[in-house]
Structure 1
Amino acid sequence: MLSILLTLQSTVPNTGTSWNWAGTPVIIGSCLLALAIAGWTIRYPHVGPKMPLPFPGLFNHPSVGTFLASMSFGHIIGVAAVLGLTNIGVL
């Protein structure tokens, strides 16, 4: 089975784009924006252990769950933004 997969891999052309650093600031910005908004919009952002973040007033002292949820949502929004900006030729 492994030899069949290796043979198939060598015959399939590489049509994907390679990874670069161009989209990194977009994803970082979307994660920080999601973190700043999540502390004020999540119903119970302080349930559980607190995340030791700088600027606690800006981020409203989020819990670990709030931090993980906002980082996940920020990555989803950031990847969508990077794909959209790449598709229109900005990145």
Structure 2
Amino acid sequence: MILAAIPQTSTWSFSVALVMILANLFAIAVGRFAIKSPGVGPDLPVNKPGLWRNFGIPELLATASLGHILGAGMILGLSNAGVL
């Protein structure tokens, strides 16, 4: 009975990784333009192009966290639908 309630998840594959990478890139792109006060915290220790001038560690952590939440939801949904 309990095993029937556990959703079917897919094992790691290139398509699962691609979904997670695309979800993170989407979240970073949206966060780059949606964060109201960028550049308040510490800066990233790498050279960045001018477009990413005010994109620091707090922005990276926030957008990557959102990207992982979106990616996990997409992977679970797509694997439950049988696509992955």
**TM bracket (short chain):** 0.7 to 0.9
Q: Map 1:22-41 to 2 at 5 A.
A: 22-41=15-34
Identity %: 34
Work out the CA distance in 2 between the residues paired with 1:81 and 1:49.
31
Work out the CA distance in 1 between the residues paired with 2:47 and 2:75.
26
Work out the CA distance in 2 between the residues paired with 1:17 and 1:56.
41
Q: Map 1:2-81 to 2 at 5 A.
A: 19-21=11-13, 22-51=15-44, 52=46, 55=49, 57=51, 59=52, 61-81=54-74
Number of matched residues? 77
Which stretches of structure 1, 4 residues or more, deviate above 6 A after TM superposition?
Answer: none
TM-score, normalised by the number of residues in structure 2: 0.75
Asked which structure has the greater CA Rg, the reply is: 1
Q: Could you list the runs of 5+ residues in structure 1 that have no partner in the other structure?
A: 1-12
TM-score, normalised by the number of residues in structure 1: 0.70
Aligned to 1:90: 83
Where relative contact order (Cα < 8 A, 6+ residues apart) is larger, the structure is: 2
Q: 1:64 to 1:80 in 2, by over 3 A?
A: same
